[in-house]
Structure 1
Amino acid sequence: MIAYASRTGTKRNLAALRDAGWRLMVSARGVLRTEGFPYALDNGAWTAFNRGEPFDVPAFEKAVKLLGQGADFIILPDIVMGGVPSFEMSIAWLRKLRRRVALRGTRFLIAVQDGMETIARRITRWLGPKVGIFVGGSTEWKLATMAKWARIAHRRSAVCHVGRVNTARRIRFCEAAGVDSFDGSSASRFAVTLRPLELARRQIDLEGYLTRLAA
């Protein structure tokens, strides 16, 4: 699995992340620098939600203009805990962004969250190699449904990414669910926490390699 850490400017933490082969998740509401890492672009909705603010369209547009073209993927704007209206918002932005010449070939992710399993068929119709799934929502819902979303994505040759993965246990959950990548903030804030997270990721990669050899 590909691992992304929330963008940080701390040199020690950046060095540790670079040595471990992690990538950065750059938020539209944060400092718009990649620090020379491969990166993905987060829409900033979670930050706005935690601050009790509306979605910051100008900040997102600025981030897309500066960093969208080189991103591994862009998480489409969503409404945290917003259900169907969140999906409709994401699709409106998808239509808008993929018309832009500068973003041709860019991958976009639709955020799914609590309650959206009821519209899985609607979501599925939009998926493909350049439109994947970002699994957000509450921790309980995420753990219970991520395997389903990974299967849905892979049937359409799409990727499945899981947000807010900050423990070795959750990394193992992601692997068991078959997701392609995850992100978290723990490794960015505390370099000491990177080691157990990376050990879990490497152990999983090794086990997968040995399984493939035995097949």
Structure 2
Amino acid sequence: MTTLPAWSQRYLDGQNVGRAEAMMAYAQYYCVDGSADTDPEIEERIEMHRAPLVGYASRTGTKRNLAALRAAGWRLLVSATACLRTEGTRYAMDNGAWAAYKQDKPFDKDAFMRAIDKLGESADWIVVPDIVTGGLRSLDYSLSWLEKLKGLPTPLLLAVQDGMEPNDIRDLLSPATGIFIGRPTEWKEETANQWGRLARRRNCYLHVGRVNSQRRIAICNAAGANSFDCTSASRFSESLQRLAPAVLQDDLFAASRSWEDV
């Protein structure tokens, strides 16, 4: 089942304006929608300002850890195939492909759509379904889903992984469609800056998946990422105490501050 939830009709009919649509309208009005990246006839200047890096932790119901996450300004990353509770905290939504891959199971399309029905409207963003370790085959799969999810009010992120290059997705990116840097870990670390430069030029959101150390948080800052997710912070408040200070360490030479072409 890939039918959009009933609540999405209000946005499709124009009764409600979703965050993704509002972001696009704002960006187009002020000529910062990323169009100048591929069209030299468009004069565009995107400010070299980046909001503070945001940490997302895997969903947890532990009160002590939730309190620590909220105090640090972190949010939750809810998986479509796990418990669909947000604990009253701001959240984003993962598609559940990684969980299926780890369990050697096929991607659960129905679970993903149920999660969108329940949580998609208020999520910060949603990761478009992908194929873990699928390379360009994964991108083709994501593009088929991107078409199906058209009309949702929530920003969507395309998962990039080993085997993909910036030009493979450049024309798809906008303030409403961003980048989720996936696996493998070594490739993610090596290519984070090139995705950061692309995100700045397209003025799109950039998230880095699976970041569990201060060193990798520094890589996210250097790439100019908007956010990252972490598993250990939701299990151990001590881990959060160790990682939280690294989030606040801005990088003056971040990819988001550079005018260099990708």
Indicate the SS of the match to 1:179. coil
What residue in structure 2 maps to residue 112 of structure 1?
A: 160
What is the TM-score when the length of structure 2 is the normalising length?
0.74
Name 1:136's counterpart in structure 2.
Answer: 182
Q: Deviations over 1:108-137 (max 9, x none)?
A: 0000001112xx223111000000000001
Partner of 1:213: none
Q: Secondary structure at the match of 1:122?
A: helix
**Structure-2 residue corresponding to 1:96:** 148
Instruction: Select which of 13, 36, 56 maps to 2:108.
Output: 56
Counterparts of 1:6-155 in structure 2, within 5 Å, are: 6-99=58-151, 103-104=152-153, 106-117=154-165, 120-155=166-201
- Report the structure, 1 or 2, having the larger helix content: 1
Could you tell me the percent identity over the aligned residues? 56
Whether the 8 Å contact between 1:24 and 1:34 is mirrored in structure 2 is yes
The answer to whether the 8 A contact 1:150-1:159 is kept is: no
What's the CA shift for 1:158? 0.4
Larger radius of gyration: 2
C-alpha contact (below 8 Å) 1:25/1:42 kept by paired residues = yes
The aligned counterpart of 1:212 is: none
Separation of aligned partners in 2, 1:173 and 1:53: 32
Alpha-carbon shift at residue 31 of structure 1 (Å): 0.4
Which residue identity is paired with 1:18?
Answer: R
Q: Deviations 1:52-100 (Å, cap 9, x if unpaired)?
A: 001010110000111111011000000000011110111111111113x
The 2-side partners of 1:158 and 1:144 are apart by 20
**Superposed CA offset, 1:32-51 (max 9, x none):** 01111111000000000000
CA-based RMSD of the aligned residues comes to 1.1
- Distance in 1, Cα, partners of 2:111 & 2:237: 28
Judge conservation of contact 1:136–1:162 (CA < 8 Å) in 2: yes
What's the TM-score once normalised by structure 1's chain length? Answer: 0.90
Unaligned segments of structure 2, at least 5 residues? 1-52, 253-262
SS at 1:125's partner residue? helix
Q: Distance between the aligned counterparts of 1:200 and 1:78, measured in 2?
A: 30
Contact 1:17 1:23 in 2 (8 A): yes
Instruction: Answer 1 or 2: higher relative contact order, Cα 8 Å, separation at least 6.
Output: 2
Q: Does 1:201 align with 2:247?
A: yes
Structure 1, residues 147-186: CA drift from partner, whole Å, max 9, x if none? 1011111111101100000111110111111111100101
SS at match of 1:121: helix
The whole-number CA distance in structure 1 between the counterparts of 2:132 and 2:230 is 17
SS at match of 1:85: helix
Q: Is the 8 A contact 1:147 1:179 kept in 2?
A: no
Aligned residue for 1:211? none
- Any unmatched runs of 5+ in structure 1? 209-215
CA distance in 2, matches of 1:94, 1:155: 21
Q: Distance in 2 between matches of 1:56 and 1:191?
A: 31
